[in-house]
Structure 1
Amino acid sequence: MSLSVAILTYNSEGKIEEVIRSIEGIADEVVVLDSGSRDRTLDILKSYGVKVYYRKFDNFVNQKNYLLSLATKDWVLFLDDDEVLTPELASSIAEELKSPSYDGYYLNRLTNYLGRWIRHAWYPDWQLRLAKREKCSWVGSEVHESLKVKGRIGYLKGELLHYSYSSVSDHLQKIDRYSTLFAQGALKRGKRFSLLKLLTSPAGAFLRRYILKRGFLDGFEGFVISVMASYYTFLKYLKLWELERSESSNRP
């Protein structure tokens, strides 16, 4: 079975070379969809002979489905621009594709946050990323997209190393971006602001990460992750309220 590796990029110079190196030997094709990088991302990709296409970003579902349409091989492995395959995972993929037993596969993602590998608050983190090209598509909202596969799903050994945020500022910038996308999408779908959710959901998000997922075992970093989850939840509902108010004030 032949394999396309599909990657979205935007100012991805930090880890993209390591990502490309981790798939050498298993990828028959690497397809990258960029949304306007201004750093060295494109130069790095071109030095590896990678196919790079451009599409203006609107949301992750549309972006990833367009990326899927660019792939030409039997199977597609979707990676983010900061996700690196361990040798064990690369070997698992290569061996499984010699005689696949399923139509799609979950990969277990292990995240590095502020220099620490997070083995509780964000782990295990099974991500459906490998699938037969003709049996998969991306579905979901503007923020919470997921890969839908028609058929049976299996699990692979090895870990997908995720180098999530380079700094606290980087994390806050993504929270700001993702909370805006959530609010815009929710308003578009007719979802209304709830004061009850604004007051209770942030606390629930914190407890889910810190207590239920045992983020306290990840030390100070686990505490920060839990606080950030709470802040993101608060901010997305606050922005929905702001958009609703703005929409109401513009009506005649």
Structure 2
Amino acid sequence: MKLSVGILTFNSEKRIGEVLNSIKDVADEIVILDSGSEDRTLEIAERFGARVFYRKFDNFVNQKNHLLSLCRGDWVLFLDDDEIVSEELAAQISKIKKENPPVDGYYVSRLTNYLGRWIKHAWYPDWQLRLAKREKCRWVGDWVHERLLVNGKTGYLKGDLLHYSYPSVSFHLKKIDLYTSLYAEGAFKKGKKFSLLKLLLSPAGAFLRRYLLKRGFLDGFEGFVLSVMASHYTFLKYLKLWELEKNEKARRS
């Protein structure tokens, strides 16, 4: 079994070296699809022997399906540019490569580091379908909520995918701004309508789900902050949809 590791990058120099180092012993090839990095991302990737390609970013589904088309291995492990494969997870992947597994894809548990703290409740375990037979999978979804679809049986792997996605509050706010804009644009193009009820109730529901149902209160102050941010994200995505509808009505009048 040959394994391709596929990663999307954009100005990813801060963490990409650690990401690539965590999979260099299990990957038969590393495929990088970049969307215009201006830092040392590509230099670092080439140092690890990666095959590097460019595609202008439009949305995550199209970008990741193009990445999939560039991979040549029997199996593909999809990683974000801030996700490090733990030693236990790498050992599990190495074991799979030596066997003929009876499944077509595997979920891995993602453990997120938020503002310097590992979040073990509000966002954990965050099961992600990331390892799959190349000819049995494809990415589906809307502009921001993409997911890997596997045509066949799936299983679960031991070991965590270490996610260093939120180093600061400012970074989180920028990410929320990007993702809520992508959501609103995608929903608007699909004809989804703004709902005042969702704008009023969904943010509270998002907070309660993370802080109480997922026990984010056990993650300390960081758990409270991320729960508030979840509420903020939900509010903004519906507000931006309202704004697009308002602007469209103004344009037509």
When normalised by structure 2's length, the TM-score is: 0.99
Of 98-107 and 196-205, the range deviating more from structure 2: 98-107
Partner of 2:142: 141
Secondary structure (helix, strand or coil) at the match of 1:111 reads: strand
- Which consecutive segments of 4 or more residues in structure 1 shift more than 2 A? none
**How far apart are residue 239 of structure 1 and its match?**
0.2
SS at match of 1:199: helix
| SS of residue paired to 1:123 | coil
Q: Deviations over 1:26-55 (max 9, x none)?
A: 100000000011111111112222111000
Matching residue of 2:94: 94
Q: Deviations over 1:128-174 (max 9, x none)?
A: 00000000000000010000000000001111000011211000000
State how many pairs are aligned.
252
Equivalent-residue separation in structure 1 for 2:124 and 2:49 (angstroms)? 34
The 10-residue stretch of structure 1 (130-139 or 92-101) with the greater mean CA deviation from structure 2: 92-101
Aligned-pair CA distance for 1:90: 0.3
Whether contact under 8 Å (2:121, 2:219) holds in the other structure is yes
Q: CA deviation at 1:101?
A: 2.1
Residue identity matched to 2:41: T
Is 1:80 aligned with 2:80? yes
Partner of 2:158: 157
Query: Which residue identity does 1:216 align to in structure 2?
Result: F
Question: Is 1:122 equivalent to 2:123 in the alignment?
Answer: yes
Q: How does 1:3-82 map to 2 (within 5 A)?
A: 3-82=3-82
Tell me what 1:185 maps to.
186
Q: How does 1:206-225 map to 2 (within 5 A)?
A: 206-225=207-226
Provide the rounded CA distance (Å) in 2 between the counterparts of 1:41 and 1:2.
25
Superposition deviation, residue 97 in structure 1: 2.5
For structure 2, list consecutive stretches of 5 or more residues without a partner in the other structure.
none
CA contact (8 A) 2:24 2:48 kept: no
- Aligned residue for 1:84, secondary structure, equals strand
Give distance in 1, aligned partners of 2:42 and 2:166: 21
Rounded Cα–Cα distance in structure 2 between residues aligned with 1:141 and 1:5: 23
Partner SS, residue 250 of structure 1:
helix
TM-superposed CA distance for 1:228, in Å, is 0.2
Identity %: 71
**Which shows bigger deviation, 209-218 or 46-55?**
46-55
Amino acid corresponding to residue 183 of structure 2 in structure 1 = F
RMSD: 0.6
* Bigger Cα displacement from structure 2, 45-54 vs 100-109: 45-54
TM-score with structure 1 setting the length? 0.99
